[in-house]
Structure 1
Amino acid sequence: MRSYQAYGAAWMGSLLEAGFGGVLADDMGLGKTVQTLALLQARREAGVAGPALLIVPTSLLYGWQAQAAEFTPDLRLVVLHGPARADSRDEALRADLVLTTYPLLARDRDWLAGQDWPLVILDEAQTLKNPASQMAKTLREIPAKGRLALTGTPLENSLQDLWTLIDWVNPGLLGDRTRFQALFRTPIEKHGDAEAQARLNRRLRPFLLRRTKEEVASELPPKTEILERVDLPKPQQALYETVRSAMDVRVREAIASRGLAAARITVLDALLKLRQVCCDPALVKTAAARSVTESAKRARLHALVSELVAEGRRVLVFSQFVEMLRLIEADLTGAGIPTLSLTGQTRDRAEVLGAFARGDAPVFLLSLKAGGVGLTLTEADTVILYDPWWNPAVERQAMDRTHRIGQTKPVFVHRLVAAGTVEEKILDMQARKQALADALFDDKANAAEALLDEATLQDLFAPLAT
């Protein structure tokens, strides 16, 4: 293990011995899995009784099993997944590590809550960001002597994400949600209160460990981000304006009748339609859209990927829209460029990942939701983000599928953004969210202002900039 990884495993062990929980929030790609396995191996060797329960996204089951087999083969691992998982429950109670998934929590709630778990661990713990969700309620009902959370993005959207996580790890540390809102969230998010930010940081520091790649993995090759603004052709511009003006009216009416908070779903749906126009008119299911055959970003992606493959590069292409990935796949297949794809509908993820590792195709198409976390794809050296997402942490997760320990080649990240559209406004919002996240780890940083207000909405639905 690297020295910082050994320290991380020891840090988690020390907290648990003292009766506290902790959040290992190392940057993506620094080996949170290995550090956790080292902790579990140490607990086994120390004779700690009872199994640890590890809860992961379904997409990461295979990765955890593979890394446990490689690094800690002596650990007795039982996976509770699939229709016959109840048959393994007795065996699970004799194991060192029990592995299950977030979607199964509600179904297995009674059994999980009926055991006394020495340790419960959440991987990709940012999944636990809505305190009112059924998942969050179920997790609170599972008894645990110790709790650990693993996440490269402890804050995704707001400080409420952080409160939910910390309140599960160490209940009461940040007060109840109402008190946290008054003492920290409102002063920091609304007013940029540096003193409140410093108080929050001091309270969190003993229980949250974060190291960045720049600090502990300076040997990693460089990562270069390239922002490419793509001009929409006239027909696509006209479609964008048609959709924008209709959505602007719809959003204003919703806000006037129900208020900004209650109209949130309407706002997000309207923004979704604008983003679909930017990606490809084929995603927009209207008669007007069917008459628009030009797609600037799709054409640019085709040309870019053709150039990269000709240079011998291996490329990851991320989009939030599965239908968009299918259109890209058809374009590249027609051009004789082999592809693999990974989405929420992919049945055998392990086979697809193995095929890419073997070099069966130079291009890997991934949905941001299914392929943006937990994967190690250091065979690739180029990442293309086809459409920007509100949250910079989610995009960094996608980039870091390849820019992580094990990478030996310089990594290039291409962002395709439709010029003058809502996609450029999304980049501005990303910067503000990043400032809020940075402030958690830097007492001198200024907290970001509120992220969605009426002025921001006016900007998002502004006419196409030329």
Structure 2
Amino acid sequence: MILVILDEVHELKGGGTAQGQAMSCLIARSRKVLALTVTLMGGYSRDLFYLLWRMFPRQMVQAGFEYGRTLGFAERYGVVERTYEADDLGPDWNQASIGRKTGKARVKEAPGISPLLLPDLLLERSAFVRLNDVSQALPDYEEIIVTTPMDDTLQTHYFDLSNTLVAATRKALACGDMRLLGKMLQSLLAYPDGCRFGERVYLERGGVEELIASAPALEINLLAKEKRLLEILTTERKQGRKVAVFLEHTGTRDLVPTLVDKLHHHGFAPLVLRGQAVKPENRESWLKDHLETGQYDCLLCNPNLVKTGLDLLDFPTIVFFQCGYSVFTLRQASRRSWRIGQNLPVRVFYLAYAETMQDKALSLMAQKMETSLAVEGELSGQGLAALSESENSMLYELAKALTDQQPVEDVTTAWSRYRQLELASVLDLDETESVTTTEETRVTTTTTISSPDGQTALVRHELVIRGRVYLRGNTAVAYVDGNRFRPQAGVIYWQDRRIGSYDRQGHGEINHKPIRLYKPPHLGHFVLAEVRQAA
């Protein structure tokens, strides 16, 4: 055998699985190996250990590793957690002693990857396919952040719950007890959407479940975020577009029945995908069979059910009703309909309540996206730094943000910055200039106007450059303050809606405000500028 091709190679990462053994046998009988995946690392360094052993055994031995000893690999290229319990140390630990005594540590691998993994083992043996290689076959892709204020009653009870939990968590952390962190974050993420069920937070102390904080169940017919969801669904349905709605709470805090009831009441027919009801290998055919009936106009499911192995071409619009805090899940699920074969522009909405934990989580998610770009080969400095952190660190960063120990960037700013970096990742290889969405550049021009009677007047205009225009073949895209405009054939579009026009000289208007598309000599690339009358 000359060549063996292993698709979805991350599924073969297990040390003692039959699939892993089959991989070893195929490689042993092949001269060349081509391993393909879009999700090489699942957060742990051990995800790569057995894959590298099977593909590059000689190099692994030379590096000093032994087969089956994943902990040694994790100590060099991952994160190792050592836990010391006070009970293990004894009552007289460190009393009247000169040297430090330690008890027996429990050692385990934690999520996280060292940046050294890339230069040491991956770069010389990997080829990263960039989005630009296939982008000509893909439609436009747009991500829209929608932050919504809470209802007044909900806001009052939310902040009461937040203040109580923050105070209790600070007190617990001062005693070295971190158990409240996860409970606090889950409660504050969940209560705004599940306020009809109320919220109660318990903590076990001395064998007794102690009530730490609570928030009442509220009778609100339609929550603010539900209204925004219905507005999006209504707009998309008028355009003949089906919508996939993703939400995290489909288990203990199940919101699906409530959303189904609200959607039915407003004339929508949701199709609900449940993990236990449909096996992974049957989901694609199950979805196809149900959509062929023509009875459904939207899909409700947990994003974890569709984040890999399933194309949602029938749903060009995706709404994250809840986002969670898994970067991997968000990036994978948000691209389910942006695949080869999609002929409609793809829109992805992210909904969050303003000034809540949901808002903070979405902002931190945008900052974490650079880690994913780094794994895909877009190695920015910030991305490499973030690569050494685990997704579990999101819990601690959210906790720090909530207790005001760590500032959180505004969600719109954070997401705009991530989109700039993602845009840079699809630029042509010879594109050297940085991506900017706003340039504080002003150019003043003076025009002499002559009247029929011979009188002249000077009219001064100021061009305020708002953003850069990127040329891609026969199309162009302009980014201004995180918004994406598409100039095409004399018409300017935003979210597929006509909002302006321009002539052959680049003069035009957006929403009746004069603009100009041109190429300033001092910049060397095209820009979108607002035209103002100078004083």
Q: Give the letter aligned to residue 233 of structure 2.
A: V
Cα distance in 1 for partners of 2:161, 2:192 equals: 11
Greater Rg over alpha carbons, structure: 2
Query: What's the C-alpha RMSD, in Å, of the aligned pairs?
Result: 3.7
Matched, 1:384 2:319: yes
Partner of 2:266: 335
Matched, 1:428 2:363: yes
Pick closer, same or farther for the CA change 1:140–1:341 going to 2, 3 Å.
closer
Does the 8 Å CA contact 2:46/2:73 hold for their aligned counterparts? Answer: no
Q: Give the letter aligned to residue 374 of structure 2.
A: A
Q: Give the letter aligned to residue 188 of structure 2.
A: L
Partner of 1:74: none
1:10-49 → structure 2 map (5 Å cutoff): 14=3, 16=4, 39=5
Pick closer, same or farther for the CA change 1:227–1:369 going to 2, 3 Å.
same
Using structure 1 for the length normalisation, give the TM-score.
Answer: 0.61
Does the 8 Å CA contact 1:325/1:367 hold for their aligned counterparts? Answer: no
- Tell me which of the two structures has the higher relative contact order, counting C-alpha pairs closer than 8 angstroms and 6 or more residues apart: 1
Partner of 1:168: 50
Q: Deviations over 1:322-347 (max 9, x none)?
A: 22222211111112211211121324
Cα distance in 2 for partners of 1:279, 1:226 equals: 20
Q: From 25, 33, 40, give the equivalent of 1:145.
A: 25
Pick closer, same or farther for the CA change 1:453–1:220 going to 2, 3 Å.
closer
Q: Deviations over 1:369-389 (max 9, x none)?
A: 223322112122111011122
Does the 8 Å CA contact 1:236/1:281 hold for their aligned counterparts? Answer: yes
Q: Deviations over 1:161-205 (max 9, x none)?
A: 2x222102123747565555554447xxxxxx9xx8466335213
Does the 8 Å CA contact 1:344/1:369 hold for their aligned counterparts? Answer: no
Matched, 1:241 2:156: no
Cα distance in 2 for partners of 1:412, 1:418 equals: 20
Cα distance in 2 for partners of 1:252, 1:301 equals: 35
Pick closer, same or farther for the CA change 1:439–1:352 going to 2, 3 Å.
closer
Matched, 1:413 2:348: yes
Partner of 1:305: 233
Cα distance in 1 for partners of 2:50, 2:128 equals: 18
Pick closer, same or farther for the CA change 1:360–1:453 going to 2, 3 Å.
closer
Cα distance in 2 for partners of 1:184, 1:456 equals: 26
Does the 8 Å CA contact 2:242/2:317 hold for their aligned counterparts? Answer: yes
The CA deviation at 1:220 is: 0.4
Does the 8 Å CA contact 2:145/2:351 hold for their aligned counterparts? Answer: yes
Does the 8 Å CA contact 2:323/2:362 hold for their aligned counterparts? Answer: yes
Pick closer, same or farther for the CA change 1:379–1:141 going to 2, 3 Å.
closer
Does the 8 Å CA contact 1:381/1:410 hold for their aligned counterparts? Answer: yes
Does the 8 Å CA contact 2:185/2:398 hold for their aligned counterparts? Answer: no
Cα distance in 1 for partners of 2:290, 2:159 equals: 42
Does the 8 Å CA contact 2:161/2:215 hold for their aligned counterparts? Answer: no
Q: Give the letter aligned to residue 152 of structure 1.
A: V
SS in 1 for 2:301: strand
Most deviating of 364-373 and 409-418: 364-373
Does the 8 Å CA contact 2:12/2:19 hold for their aligned counterparts? Answer: no
Cα distance in 2 for partners of 1:240, 1:458 equals: 18
More strand by share: 2
The CA deviation at 1:259 is: 5.1
The CA deviation at 1:402 is: 0.7
Q: Which structure 2 segments of 5+ residues have no match?
A: 28-33, 80-112, 201-213, 411-535
Partner of 2:191: 277
Pick closer, same or farther for the CA change 1:297–1:354 going to 2, 3 Å.
same
Cα distance in 1 for partners of 2:18, 2:173 equals: 35
Matched, 1:458 2:395: no
Pick closer, same or farther for the CA change 1:289–1:330 going to 2, 3 Å.
same
Does the 8 Å CA contact 2:269/2:298 hold for their aligned counterparts? Answer: yes
Q: Which structure 1 segments of 5+ residues have no match?
A: 1-9, 17-38, 40-120, 129-134, 187-192
Pick closer, same or farther for the CA change 1:258–1:164 going to 2, 3 Å.
same
Does the 8 Å CA contact 1:422/1:461 hold for their aligned counterparts? Answer: no
Pick closer, same or farther for the CA change 1:299–1:126 going to 2, 3 Å.
farther
Pick closer, same or farther for the CA change 1:233–1:254 going to 2, 3 Å.
same
Q: From 311, 318, 331, give the equivalent of 2:246.
A: 318
SS in 2 for 1:152: coil
Q: Give the letter aligned to residue 291 of structure 1.
A: L
SS in 1 for 2:262: helix
Cα distance in 2 for partners of 1:150, 1:269 equals: 38
Does the 8 Å CA contact 1:126/1:165 hold for their aligned counterparts? Answer: no
Using structure 2 for the length normalisation, give the TM-score.
Answer: 0.54
Does the 8 Å CA contact 1:140/1:168 hold for their aligned counterparts? Answer: no
Most deviating of 424-433 and 222-231: 424-433
Cα distance in 2 for partners of 1:376, 1:452 equals: 28
Pick closer, same or farther for the CA change 1:402–1:127 going to 2, 3 Å.
farther
Cα distance in 1 for partners of 2:378, 2:238 equals: 43
Aligned residues, how many?
330
Q: Percent identity?
A: 20
Does the 8 Å CA contact 2:197/2:218 hold for their aligned counterparts? Answer: no
SS in 1 for 2:118: helix
Q: From 340, 344, 369, give the equivalent of 2:304.
A: 369
Does the 8 Å CA contact 1:403/1:411 hold for their aligned counterparts? Answer: yes
Does the 8 Å CA contact 1:318/1:366 hold for their aligned counterparts? Answer: yes
